Amino acid sequence: MQTCLTFPGLGYYTNPENSVFGARGDFITSPEISQVFGEWMAAGKPQAIRLVELGPGRGTLMDDILRVISRIALKTADGQGGVQLKEINLMEASPAMRDIQESKLRDFASKVGCELNWHDTISSIKRSDAFTMVVAHEFFDALPFYQLQKTEDGWREVMVASALDPIKDPRLNRPTETDVPPPPPVTPGPNDPLFQRVLSPSSNAMSRSVLNLSPHLAEAAAILPAGSFLEISVESYLHAAALSQLIGRPKLPEASAVDANVDKAEAPSGGGCGLIIDYGGDQAYEDSFRAFKDHKIVDVFHKPGKTDLTANVDFALIKQAMGAQVDQHGPVTQSEFLQKMGMSLRVNALARQAENEERRNAIVDAAERLVDPAGMGKEYKVYGFSNLKESPPVYPFDVAAS
């Protein structure tokens, strides 16, 4: 999955020829981000903040965030105004995506005098005394995962193998005698899949260890009947743990003795908060892996590197990885989140400003899609994590719907 999505120059996100780089018709990311500043106030109004985004894609969401916060609170380059935006940190695997992000965000960064940095990993983002605000929208679903299947003899890893017939495939059936010429290579027909899923014939290191990553996995593993699957993204776990570390509270002395990252944990942290928005839920999934090409579901082995690959996000695993260093909120449905954020006020305001009836209808339709209980409103979840000076109720997770 990682190779198909991010292999240099040839992956779905790294190959500039792929349509993900074009203007994707109906792209909507403009929730009312200004409320995030409630968290900033609860953190004691730190005078310096920084932003971190994982997998920013075309930079649309960050561009929206910057526009909104610059209206509210930012100090200008000449030192006037409120809070100082010190850095924008983007974790992005694709150089082609980085170029698009840079052209969208560079002018703003220069205008407010903040650093614009790219990272390959979260651990290369330094801990900071600035208040850190993190967002990851449709990032975790692009991360690779292991899949296990339960057999009568325990869990086995599902693996990917060549689909070529091993009798005919010269790579798998080399003649042992050198004077026998190798059979001609097999050229698969245009519709033949190149890969197939196979089950490991025996248990291996992964199938023996990965279910111990979190109690909810061990529990699912125990109760699921033979034949069931489980998808487990170790990569998601590691990224979530690193985010928690980035903004987390300094460790207690007894905890730091067993913590591998003691140095980092002791560096200053101005605290922070973050939102992870993705489809998935508070549970592990059995078989949610799917592929999209031209907005249609296709076989997961269809045109590797040209096809978007995705799996549901297991927020229970993310919560486990975040641990007690941060306060955790949700996940709640996108519908609940946006409605508690006062989406209807915002939509009404936008609709009132629309230049004509058609535009007005488009705004209302788009908003309804975001909260549609049969679609994005329910499938998409919003999960929050925070490390604030106090632990006040966090908006909008801890407030009743109006």
Applying CB under 6 A, which residues contact ligand SAH? 5-6, 13, 55-57, 61, 91-94, 97, 137-139, 142
| Nearer of residues 109 and 238 to ligand SAH, judged by Cβ | 238
Nearest of 305, 311, 309, 310 to residue 18 by alpha carbon = 305
Question: Shortest approach of ligand SAH to residue 203 CB, angstroms?
Answer: 28
What 3-state class would DSSP assign to 279? strand
* Cβ-based nearer residue to ligand SAH, 13 or 397: 13
Residue 93 or 318: the one with the smaller Cβ distance to ligand SAH is 93
Dihedral of the alpha carbons of 163, 164, 170, 173, in degrees to the nearest 10? 70
Is residue 28 within 8 A of residue 343, CB to CB? The reply is no
d(CA 381, CA 312): 11
Minimum CB separation from ligand SAH for residue 136, in Å? 7
Distance of CA 324 to the CA centre of its chain: 21
Nearer to ligand SAH, 75 or 239 (CB): 239
Which residue, 155 or 383, has its beta carbon nearer to ligand SAH? 383
CB closer to ligand SAH out of 97 and 211: 97
End-to-end alpha carbon distance in the chain: 42
Could you tell me if 382 and 277 are in contact, meaning their C-beta atoms sit under 8 angstroms apart?
yes
CB of 93 to ligand SAH, least distance (A): 3
- Compute the least distance from the CB of residue 154 to ligand SAH, in Å: 30
| Minimum separation from the CB atom of position 95 to ligand SAH (A) | 10
Whole-angstrom distance, CA of residue 385 vs CA of residue 298: 34
Tell me the H-state helices in 187-278: 205-209, 215-223, 234-247, 253-256, 262-266
Measured CA distances, 148 to 154, 200, 201, 207, 315 (Å) = 10, 9, 12, 7, 18
The CA distance from 185 to 194, in Å, is 14
Q: How far apart are CA 55 and CA 223, in angstroms?
A: 35
Report, in Å, the least distance between residue 305 CB and ligand SAH: 13
Q: In terms of CB distance, is 46 or 55 closer to ligand SAH?
A: 55
Q: Output the smallest distance, CB 309 to ligand SAH, in A.
A: 10
